[in-house]
């Protein structure tokens, strides 16, 4: 299908990330505070509304859908939604249906996800040490996640591990994590930690570890080859020649990819964020709820895409002075 969502800078929007819940069964220190207040249920898009919303985007040329959260797999009835989306894979309109998860529920859902047409999952995992895992996620338990990863691979899903790079936390595990991923034939991506509001962390985990340093450390042990691969997002990839594996580096607020940015993000309340680094957003819930017919929604989507900023390096004044983006990642889904 020809993309219909072309922004003012002639970029086609073909990738939608959708947060289906703000809730989570973990409390990662860099993402949430221990005592979170979650949205009342009426604020959230229902599963049927999520279906309408995503289907409208797919009708407008979106080819890739990533489901995220909060933790997408704790949303009640979420498999109904995945099952419903598989019709767009069957029709060929949707090329990829995928999700980012903390892995806690994968043991239960991996086979169903595969049956719905999901072929790849991103699992966020910052450490392979039980005690450190409990500390960074507060509520998570590592063995449960490892069983989830086993289940995902057994079901035929390709797994990519996302690691938030944290100084004095997982610095010492760099090679161990890389080798573990290589042994299991999983891709690996490092994410630079973003300062996300005041999360009340007295424990001093969550400190910035530059990905340039992560890369330099890897280069000290392995031969790194830069890959030309671009996904329209903030990731850069290398191959480790010794293991053959692909490693990605995501610097979320870097702006060297803005000119090829192909994505928008929707919150679980139907707000469409046009750029991760800026506050520009449009409410799509009101036009969705106004009628059962999608015309108001489609008009609102077109209007929103018309607001997509050129990039987040062009107007830093719109961010808070210290470079923080006030919303949490669990709100926009990362």
**Partner whose binding site includes residue 57, from ligand SAM, ligand SF4, none (CB under 5 to 8 Å by kind):** none
- What is the C-alpha to C-alpha distance for residues 333 and 270, in angstroms, rounded to an integer? 12
Q: What's the DSSP call for residue 6?
A: B
For ligand SAM, the binding residues in 283-302 under the rule CB under 6 A are none
Greatest CA separation for the chain = 59
- Beta-bridge mates of residue 276: none
**Binding flag, residue 190, ligand SAM (CB under 6 A):** no
CA distance 163 to 69: 17
Cα–Cα distance between 255 and 252 in angstroms, integer? 8
State the number of binding residues for ligand SAM (CB under 6 A).
Answer: 20
CB closer to ligand SAM, 194 vs 272: 194
Do the beta carbons of residue 200 and residue 178 sit within 8 Å? no
Residue linked to tokens 């809730």: 23
Work out the burial of residue 155: count CB atoms within 10 Å of its CB; fewer than 13 is exposed, 13-18 middle, 19 or more buried: middle
Among 14, 105, 124, 170, binds ligand SAM (CB under 6 A): 124
Give the one residue of 7, 71, 107, 187 binding ligand SAM; rule: CB under 6 A: 71
Q: Which long-range contacts (CB under 8 A, 24 or more apart) does 290-299 make?
A: 294/52, 294/56, 297/52, 297/53, 297/56, 298/56, 298/59, 298/60
- The interface partner of residue 58, options being ligand SAM, ligand SF4, none and the CB cut-off 5 to 8 Å by kind, is none
Using CB under 6 A as the criterion, what x/- string covers residues 80-99 for binding ligand SAM?
--------------------
Closest approach, Cβ 150 to ligand SAM, in A, equals 17
Residue 68 phi, psi dihedral angles, 5° rounding: -145, -165
Nearer to ligand SAM, 89 or 205 (CB): 205
**Cα torsion for 26, 27, 28, 34, to the nearest 10°?**
-170
List the one residue from 17, 23, 27, 69 that touches ligand SAM (CB under 6 A).
69
What is d(CA 171, CA 244) in angstroms, rounded to the nearest whole number?
22
| DSSP bridge partners of 237 | 227, 248
Of 27, 66, 236, 331, the residue at the interface with ligand SF4 (CB under 6 A) is 27
Per CB under 6 A, contacts with ligand SAM among 20-59 are: 24, 30-31
Report the residue number whose CB is nearest to ligand SAM: 334
Cα distance between residue 67 and residue 18, in whole Å: 5
Contacting ligand SAM within 218-257 (CB under 6 A)? none
Footprint on residues 94-153 left by ligand SF4 (CB under 6 A): 102, 124
Closest distance to ligand SAM from the beta carbon of 207 (Å): 11
- The footprint of ligand SAM (CB under 6 A) covers 24, 30-31, 68-69, 71, 100-102, 124, 162, 164, 191, 193-194, 196, 329-330, 333-334
Question: What residue ranges bind ligand SF4 (CB under 6 A)?
Answer: 24, 26-28, 31-32, 69-71, 102, 124, 330
């Amino acid at each position: 299908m020809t993309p219909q969502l072309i922004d003012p800078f002639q970029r086609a929007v073909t990738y939608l990330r959708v947060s289906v819940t703000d809730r989570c069964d973990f409390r990662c220190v860099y993402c949430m505070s221990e005592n979170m207040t979650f949205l009342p249920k009426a604020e959230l898009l229902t599963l049927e509304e999520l279906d309408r919303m995503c289907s409208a985007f797919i009708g407008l040329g979106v080819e890739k859908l990533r489901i995220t959260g909060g933790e997408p797999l704790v949303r009640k009835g979420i498999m109904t939604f995945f099952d419903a989306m598989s019709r767009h894979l069957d029709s060929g309109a949707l090329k990829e249906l995928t999700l980012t998860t903390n892995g806690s529920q994968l043991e239960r859902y991996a086979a169903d996800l595969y049956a719905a047409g999901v072929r790849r999952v991103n699992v966020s995992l910052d450490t392979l040490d039980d005690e450190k895992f409990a500390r960074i996620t507060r509520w998570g338990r590592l063995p449960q996640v490892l069983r989830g990863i086993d289940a995902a691979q057994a079901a035929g899903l390709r797994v990519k591990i996302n690691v938030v790079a944290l100084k004095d936390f997982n610095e010492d595990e760099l090679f161990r994590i890389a080798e573990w991923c290589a042994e299991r034939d999983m891709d690996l991506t490092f994410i630079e930690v973003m300062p996300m509001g005041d999360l009340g962390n007295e424990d001093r985990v969550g400190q910035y570890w530059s990905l340039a340093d992560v890369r330099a450390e890897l280069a000290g042990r392995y031969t790194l080859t830069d890959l030309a691969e671009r996904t329209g997002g903030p990731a850069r990839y290398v191959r480790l020649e010794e293991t053959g594996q692909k490693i990605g580096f995501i610097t979320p607020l870097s702006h060297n990819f803005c000119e090829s940015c192909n994505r928008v993000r929707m919150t679980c309340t139907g707000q469409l964020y046009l750029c991760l680094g800026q506050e520009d957003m449009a409410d799509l819930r009101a036009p969705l709820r106004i009628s059962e017919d999608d015309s108001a929604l489609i008009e609102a989507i077109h209007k929103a895409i018309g607001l997509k900023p050129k990039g987040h390096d062009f107007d830093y004044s719109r961010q808070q002075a210290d470079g923080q983006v006030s919303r949490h990642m669990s709100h926009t889904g990362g």
